[in-house]
Amino acid sequence: MLITIEGIDGAGKTTIALKLYEYLKKEKGEVYLFREPGSTEVGEKIREILLMYEVGDITELLLFESARAELTERLLLPLLKKGKIVILDRFCDSTTAYQGYGRGIDIEMIERINMFASRGIKPDLTILLDISPEVALERLRAKDRFEEIDFLRRVREGFLRIAEKNERIKVIKADEDIETVFKNVLGVVREHLC
């Protein structure tokens, strides 16, 4: 089973993904937690490149997709074939939301490249942590990070549009306290694991 966690920066994905991982590990035993971009040697190098250099929009898109292809090939395909539970902090929906709705690259083309890089793997469940960019920015500011609000607004709208088109995506309000958000996430996950 593949569970992906999505949302704009500061929505609480990493916090919730880790809590879910710890919970499911206790309940189910073998569970894996990965992040995009990253979780493979090459993927982590790509993350470093993306943090170090300002690159063009197409380069950025292809770097995210390269990290994804590597993660898919080395970890996702083998583990999912064995029936393992995998939690993934961001996946294809992030590319559609950020590079498509955020940067304005053609959505249809992004979806085709997403399919190609992920070898057609579809998450069984996607948790979309939805939060206003204003609240998310406050959280990021506390960590000395600054993002552009208009960009985050477009990305959030993008995520919500993707959710409207996909049954697998469950939208969870992420502006509540961590325990409440986690309880709501768990409710949805439990329904899918039964």
Which residues form the interface with ligand Z5A (CB under 6 A)?
Answer: 7, 9-15, 36-37, 64, 89-90, 94-95, 98-99, 139-140, 143, 147, 177-178, 181
Give me the least distance between CB of 143 and ligand Z5A, in Å please: 6
Q: Pick between residue 28 and residue 173 the one whose CB is nearest to ligand Z5A.
A: 173
Closer residue to ligand Z5A in complex, CB, 30/65: 65
The nearer residue to ligand Z5A, 70 or 89, going by C-beta atoms, is 89
At 171 the three-state DSSP class reads strand
How far apart are CB 21 and ligand Z5A at their closest, in Å?
13
Q: Would you give the DSSP letter of residue 124?
A: S
Using DSSP's 3-state secondary structure scheme, residue 8 falls into coil
- Size of the chain in residues: 194
Q: How far is the CB of 194 from ligand Z5A (least distance, A)?
A: 26
Can you list the positions of beta strands (E) in 14-148?
31-35, 85-89, 125-130
Q: Are 155 and 95 in contact (CB under 8 A)?
A: no
